[in-house]
């Protein structure tokens, strides 16, 4: 600014002077100088005004800067406060999210536990409703308020359930009866006890706490209730067998009344299994019972028969040892009735073989001129053949009827297995119609089907033992008869010396045999 003023003054002074020196007079120069001074004063005044204006503007700008600085500081403080508030809100949001997650998880766990902790009889009542609530909650996973509201509905169901249990709650549904079949009926839940009355009014009882895995409770019939349970369910008044053990005590009492032992309990289990037996199983068991009757009858009769013939063998051997040289002595004594023949002795295989041999000897013996008896070689061979034929007939007689035991041994298990296979097939067919697949539904049907296999084994095992025992005794008797035949032939060869074929009597072919 100062240079501008100086330059202006010099220009105003020097230019007129130079001009005046050249062309103007002093006066004109003086006038010009005065004029220049006036212009200079104006310029100085203008510069002063301009300087004051500039200073005023500068002061205004400084004031604005100060105001803006204050405003900036205020904004910075506001920003810091907002940041603090934002962090506080974020922490609060995180806490609320954690609380929501905890509450939602807790309600979700309660929803799952609700279906596992309730009585199996109630499962079919709440299953669909709880499943729909869970599905709605899963669909609202991005809407926390709606999700938590859906979760709370299960809690409301639980509270309502408690109220129903306290006052007694009745509803219709299904329970598993015999052979895994579902039975329509009405339930009454009174505290820890659940009672059931079939729709057909034939059976009623309790439902224990045991889970069948199918959504239907197991049904235990109480035969001595006399319709009291159905009456209470229908009318809401009456006497009920309240059991604080959720049916366990009643079930245990029914299984072993009065504390009966395990053996009797197992026997009763066979009765329960038999109640579930289907028609095809009863057919297999009936066949097995028939085979048992025939087989055991044959075995008993055969044992009695073998006992008698062994006694007869003993009586015969006592007489056999008394014989002298003539093997036909017993035969002649029997004909002359000088021998006491017991009924058991007549059944003796030794007696039958001896009778055959003695008859052959009597028919074939020849008397030579010297008065001594003898047999030819061919006659001895013919007698031996007749004795062997008698042994074969004896073996047939001894083994007669054992075929029934072999049939029982071989056929009994197969008949039982057939009944089991058919029973299992029918059980699975029934379950497929019901649409429920679980152990408690399958177990009764399979257990009753397996009873047919047990019956088949009961047929086969005793028959196997009896067959082995009888077969061994028959083999011993046959071996003893073979020894007796050898002894008979030896004595025959000794007591009846061989004679010439020419002197021996001639027999036809039929007589030789």
- Convert the pLDDT of each residue in 357-368 to its tens digit: 777 777 766 544
**Is pLDDT at 338 greater than 60 in this prediction?**
no
pLDDT over threshold 60, residue 249: no
What pLDDT score does 101 carry?
80
Residues 346 and 489 in one domain: yes
Lowest-confidence pick of 169-178, 249-258, 481-490: 249-258
135, 252, 454, 488 from 262: Cα distances, Å: 48, 12, 20, 61
CA 10 to chain CA centroid, Å, is 124
Which residues does residue 171 pair with via DSSP β-bridges, in sequence order?
187
Asked whether the beta carbons of 363 and 485 are under 8 A apart, the reply is: no
Q: Write down the pLDDT at residue 259.
A: 40
The answer to which of 294-298, 313-317, 443-447 has the lowest mean pLDDT is: 443-447
Taking each continuous run of H as one helix and of E as one strand, the counts in the chain are 15, 7
Do 104 and 159 belong to one domain? Answer: no
The CA distance from 276 to 272, in Å, is 7
468-482: pLDDT as tens digits: 988 898 888 888 888
Do both 37 and 124 map to the same domain? no
Q: Do the domain assignments include residue 275?
A: no
State the pLDDT at residue 508.
Answer: 44
Look at residue 271 and tell me if it is in a domain: no
178 & 296 share domain: no
On the question of pLDDT at 258 being above 70, the answer is no
pLDDT surpasses 80 at 340: no
Residue 39 reports pLDDT greater than 60 = yes
Q: Are strands 182-190 and 169-176 parallel, antiparallel or unpaired?
A: antiparallel
Mean residue pLDDT across the chain: 75
Domain assignment present for 115? no
Q: d(Cα 200, Cα 183) in Å, to the nearest integer?
A: 9
Per-residue pLDDT reduced to its tens digit, 227-239: 778 878 888 777 7
Residues 327 and 421 in one domain: yes
pLDDT for the residue numbered 185:
86
Q: Give the separation between CA 480 and CA 497, rounded to whole angstroms.
A: 26
Taking the C-alpha atoms of residue 136 and residue 134, their distance in angstroms, rounded to an integer, is: 5
Q: Which domain holds residue 167?
A: 120-129+142-255
Residue 340 lies in a domain: yes
Task: Compute the CA torsion angle 350, 354, 357, 361 (nearest 10 deg).
Answer: 160
- Indicate the pLDDT class of residue 169, thresholds 50, 70 and 90: confident
Q: 168 or 133: whose pLDDT is higher?
A: 133
Model pLDDT, residue 111: 77
Query: Residue 84: what pLDDT?
Result: 92
| pLDDT in the model for residue 170 | 82
Instruction: Identify the three-state secondary structure at position 505.
Output: coil
Q: Which residues pair with 438 in a beta bridge?
A: none
CB 383 within 8 A of CB 360: yes
Which uninterrupted H or E stretch holds 175?
strand 169-176
Residue 373 lies in a domain: yes
Tell whether 236 is covered by a domain. yes
Residue 465 clears pLDDT 60, i.e. is over it = yes
Q: What is the residue whose two structure tokens read 């700008």?
A: 61
Residue 266: predicted pLDDT: 52
Query: Are residues 289 and 345 part of one domain?
Result: yes
Residues 419 and 314 placed together within one structural domain of the fold: yes
% of the chain at pLDDT higher than 70: 72
Closest to 356 (Cα-Cα) out of 389, 326, 324 = 389
pLDDT in tens, 65-116: 999 999 999 999 999 999 999 999 999 888 888 887 888 778 778 877 777 7
- 51-63 pLDDT tens trace: 888 888 898 898 8
pLDDT at 332 exceeding the cut of 60:
no
Task: Say if pTM beats, i.e. exceeds, 0.95.
Answer: no
Tell whether 113 is covered by a domain. no
Within this chain, do residues 146 and 62 fall inside the same structural domain, yes or no?
no
Q: Is the pLDDT of residue 440 over 80?
A: no
Report the distance separating Cα 131 and Cα 129, nearest Å. 5
- pLDDT above 60 (res 300): yes
What is the rounded average pLDDT of the residues 393-411? 85
- Number of domains comprising the chain: 3
pLDDT of 509 higher than 70: no
The encoded tokens of residue 281 equal 């199983």
Query: Given the structure tokens 């205004």, which residue do they identify?
Result: 60
| Whether residue 436 is found in the same domain as residue 342 | yes
Residue 175 CA to residue 197 CA, distance in Å, equals: 10
Cα–chain-centroid distance for residue 447? Answer: 12
Are 95 and 153 part of one and the same domain?
no
Distance separating alpha carbons of residues 513 and 507, to the nearest angstrom: 10
Mean pLDDT of the 162-190 span: 75
Do 149 and 243 fall within a single domain?
yes
The answer to whether the beta carbons of residues 215 and 123 sit under 8 Å apart is yes
276, part of any domain: no
Mean pLDDT, rounded, for 180-184: 70
- Does 291 share its domain with 356? yes
Which is more confident, 508 or 411? Answer: 411
Q: At 497, is the pLDDT very low, low, confident or very high (cuts 50, 70, 90)?
A: low
Q: Is 194 helix (H, G, I), strand (E, B) or coil?
A: strand
């Amino acid at each position: 600014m100062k240079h501008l003023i100086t330059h202006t003054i010099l220009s105003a002074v020097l230019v007129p002077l130079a001009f005046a020196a050249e062309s103007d007079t002093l006066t004109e120069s003086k006038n010009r100088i005065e004029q220049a001074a006036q212009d200079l004063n104006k310029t100085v005044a203008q510069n002063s005004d301009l300087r004051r204006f500039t200073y005023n503007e500068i002061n205004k700008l400084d004031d604005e800067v100060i105001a803006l600085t204050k405003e900036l500081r205020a904004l910075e403080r506001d920003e810091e406060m907002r940041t603090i508030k934002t962090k506080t809100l974020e922490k609060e949001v995180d806490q609320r999210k954690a609380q929501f997650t905890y509450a939602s998880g807790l309600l979700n766990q309660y929803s799952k536990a609700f279906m596992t902790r309730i009585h199996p009889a109630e499962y079919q009542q709440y299953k669909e409703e709880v499943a729909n609530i869970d599905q709605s909650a899963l669909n609202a996973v991005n809407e926390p308020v709606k999700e938590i509201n859906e979760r709370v509905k299960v809690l409301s169901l639980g509270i309502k359930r408690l109220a129903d249990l306290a006052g007694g709650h009745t509803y219709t549904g299904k329970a598993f009866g015999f052979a895994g079949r579902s039975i329509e009926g009405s339930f009454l839940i009174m505290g820890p006890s659940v009672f059931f009355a079939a729709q057909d009014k034939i059976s009623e009882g309790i439902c224990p706490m045991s889970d069948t895995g199918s959504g239907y409770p197991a049904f235990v019939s109480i035969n001595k209730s006399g319709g009291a349970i159905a009456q209470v369910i229908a009318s809401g008044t009456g006497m009920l067998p309240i059991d604080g053990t959720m049916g366990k005590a009643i079930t245990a009492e029914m299984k072993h009344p009065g504390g009966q032992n395990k053996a009797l309990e197992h026997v009763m289990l066979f009765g329960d299994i038999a109640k579930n037996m289907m028609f095809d199983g009863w057919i297999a068991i009936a066949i097995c019972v028939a085979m048992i009757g025939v087989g055991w009858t044959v075995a008993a009769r055969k044992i009695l028969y073998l006992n008698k013939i062994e006694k007869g063998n003993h009586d015969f051997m006592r007489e056999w040892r008394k014989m002298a040289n003539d093997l036909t002595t017993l035969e002649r004594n029997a004909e002359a009735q000088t021998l006491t023949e017991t009924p058991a002795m007549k059944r003796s295989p030794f007696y039958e073989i001896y009778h055959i041999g003695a008859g052959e000897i009597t028919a074939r013996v020849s008397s030579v001129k010297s008065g001594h008896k003898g047999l030819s070689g061919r006659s001895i061979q013919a007698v031996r053949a007749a004795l062997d034929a008698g042994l074969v007939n004896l073996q047939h007689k001894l083994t007669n009827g054992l075929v029934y035991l072999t049939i029982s041994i071989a056929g009994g298990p197969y008949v039982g297995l057939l009944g089991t296979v058919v029973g299992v097939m029918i059980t699975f067919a029934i379950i497929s119609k019901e649409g429920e697949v679980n152990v408690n539904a399958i177990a009764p049907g399979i257990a009753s089907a397996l009873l047919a296999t047990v019956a088949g084994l009961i047929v086969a095992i005793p028959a196997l033992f009896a067959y082995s025992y009888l077969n061994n005794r028959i083999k011993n008797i046959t071996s003893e008869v073979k020894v007796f035949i050898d002894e008979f032939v030896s004595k025959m060869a000794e007591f009846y010396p061989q004679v010439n074929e020419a002197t021996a009597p001639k027999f036809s072919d039929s007589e030789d045999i």
